[in-house]
A and B are shown apart, each in its own frame.
Chain A
Amino acid sequence: MVEFRLGRHTYAAHSRLVMAIVNRTPDSFYDKGATWAADAAKDRVRQVVDEGADIVDIGGIKAAPGAEIDAAEEMSRVVDFVGWVRAAYPELVISVDTWRAEVGRAVCAEGADLLNDAWGGADPDLPSVAAEFGAGLVCTHTGGVTPRTRPFRVEYDDVVADILESVVGQAERAVAVGVARDRILIDPAHDFGKNTWHSLEATRRLGELVGTGWPVLVSLSNKDFVGETLDRPVGERLTGTLAATAISSWLGAQVYRVHEVAETRQVLDMVSTIAGERPPAITTRGLQ
């Protein structure tokens, strides 16, 4: 685990941060449009801040296939909203989930701190935008798939080797175009370009990602690999998500992109405390 920076903040090497998902979409798989309306999205930001989120990750396009959303429509969903969050919460780290450089430029102009390139470098100009604005960048592994496609019969000799090659390569290229080295995160991207076996192995071997020296972000929340592992539909995956969260944090991941902030915060605090990196909140047992 390493020290890194996001927005105005410098995070210590043992930090475990919660990145709250804020969807400006009518159709994302988990919330199904719950925060599509601007007022509902603002309420969501207030709630996740209250619950202890360190970062909000604002997205205007659902990951699954569906109606094509062009850059203009994507910008109409996220750019002004980023401006509102920036004004309302000057200290909050704002991430935007986009693969498009032009969207990245617009949100950085409104004060976004981090570009979450969830489709693994689909637009090669995105890192230059992060560099131009002094923003951070999340480098993800997708196995080379086109944005918004599901994995279909993907195989790897060694999925973790493929992840490492991809995300470290993206990170080094980002540094080369001027992104600050300590503002780059790597993400194995569970479920993206991966079947459940791949995502489980990526979780089991997360230590290899941590070992690269880049801070690791994981996006586990309510995903299909949890659902398939436990045979639970969307809506019944929180327990599995939190188990994967605990394992990932023990192995050294530092940022958790989630739907359920309060529950995740508790798990991360528990792990940090077991690890001896955070004191318990109160200790009276046997000490009265």
Chain B
Amino acid sequence: MGVRMAEVGMTGPVTEGAEPISGVIAALVLPSPPMQLPEYVGAADPAAAIRERSAAALADLLARHPKAQVVVVSGRERAARHTKGSVGERVGRLLLAQVGWAGSVRSVDLPFDACPDEIEAAVAAVAGVPASATVLLIPADLSAKRTEKAPGHLDPRAAAVDDGVLAALASGDDAALRALDPALCADLWLTGWAALQVLARCLPQPGSARVVWSGDPYGVLYVLARWGR
């Protein structure tokens, strides 16, 4: 695996022995609806199952990498009307707190409609982390136009694009993620596009890839997927 990391151009020292300790070694793509955040939960907690499923996957992943540092890579509005930090970052930090993570956490964000330079800057920010194995948390959702009651109403193009992203996440196909049409993704309110671009560049050919769960209970497609070991 250390060779693989070297092959994909990750920087930083690698220790002697079987286990590499630098570079991006794994990533978890997870649902990021704001309704998961405590400040938006009313008497009922409709996203509890989504949050708990994510937390379980996160706990499992971090148990394998107890000395890793975590980088939360999230999209955000280009011109936010608030100063709260991205929802994705807040979701990521909530889940890390929930699983009792006491290790290092950093955040990298970029606009939902990031230009190539902004994507490369985010990739550099991830890669520029000091010597350590790195686990990425990628709060990223697929389209929000899957039904007439979806936030963005029905767009008949959404299903095919979502299916393509799910297939790419299931197979570790970074090329397919890179090939997504940003304008089409923007049309579909596919807010995870930018963060997935960072994933594709930081952990190409992850070796192991799996979609743990996906679902669209509110017309937005959520996905929980794991790349890497």
Interface residues of A (CB under 8 A from B): 64-66, 143-144, 149-157, 162, 195-197, 228-229, 231
Q: What is the CA–CA distance of A149 and B42 in the complex, to the nearest angstrom?
A: 24
Contact across chains for A151 and B151 when beta carbons are under 8 A apart: yes
Residues of A within 8 A of B144 (CB): 152
Contact across chains for B81 and A149 when beta carbons are under 8 A apart: no
Tell me how far the C-beta of A166 lies from the nearest C-beta in chain B, rounded to whole angstroms. Answer: 11
Contact across chains for A153 and B87 when beta carbons are under 8 A apart: yes
- A-B complex: 3 closest residue pairs judged by Cβ atoms: A65-B153, A152-B151, A155-B82
Q: What is the CA–CA distance of A286 and B87 in the complex, to the nearest angstrom?
A: 60
Q: Which residue of B lies closest to A150 (CB)?
A: B151
The answer to whether A195 and B40 touch (CB under 8 A), given A154-B81, A157-B81, A162-B81, is yes
Among A143, A157, A162: residue with most chain B CB under 10 A: A157
Q: What is the CA–CA distance of A162 and B81 in the complex, to the nearest angstrom?
A: 9
Q: What is the CA–CA distance of A153 and B83 in the complex, to the nearest angstrom?
A: 14
Q: What is the CA–CA distance of A190 and B144 in the complex, to the nearest angstrom?
A: 22
Q: What is the CA–CA distance of A28 and B169 in the complex, to the nearest angstrom?
A: 39
Contact of B82 among A65, A144, A157, A197 (CB under 8 A): A157
Given contacts A157-B83, A197-B39, 14 further A-B contacts (CB under 8 A): A150-B151, A152-B189, A153-B33, A153-B34, A153-B191, A155-B34, A155-B81, A157-B82, A157-B84, A162-B81, A195-B34, A196-B42, A197-B40, A228-B42
Tell me how far the C-beta of B185 lies from the nearest C-beta in chain A, rounded to whole angstroms. Answer: 14
Tell me how far the C-beta of A235 lies from the nearest C-beta in chain B, rounded to whole angstroms. Answer: 16
Query: In the complex, how many residue pairs between chain A and chain B have their CB atoms under 8 Å apart?
Result: 43
Residues of A within 8 A of B33 (CB): 153
Contact of B152 among A66, A152, A157, A196 (CB under 8 A): A152
Q: Which residues of B in the span 69-95 have a Cβ within 8 Å of any Cβ on A?
A: 80-84, 87
Q: Which residues of B in the span 148-207 have a Cβ within 8 Å of any Cβ on A?
A: 148, 151-153, 189, 191
Contact across chains for A150 and B34 when beta carbons are under 8 A apart: no
Q: Which residues of B in the span 10-58 have a Cβ within 8 Å of any Cβ on A?
A: 33-34, 39-40, 42, 44
Query: Could you list 24 A-B pairs, sorted by A, with CB under 8 Å?
Result: A64-B153, A65-B148, A65-B152, A65-B153, A66-B153, A143-B81, A144-B81, A149-B152, A150-B153, A151-B151, A153-B33, A153-B34, A153-B87, A153-B191, A155-B80, A155-B82, A155-B84, A156-B81, A157-B82, A157-B83, A157-B84, A162-B81, A195-B34, A231-B44
Q: What is the CA–CA distance of A66 and B33 in the complex, to the nearest angstrom?
A: 24
Q: What is the CA–CA distance of A155 and B191 in the complex, to the nearest angstrom?
A: 15
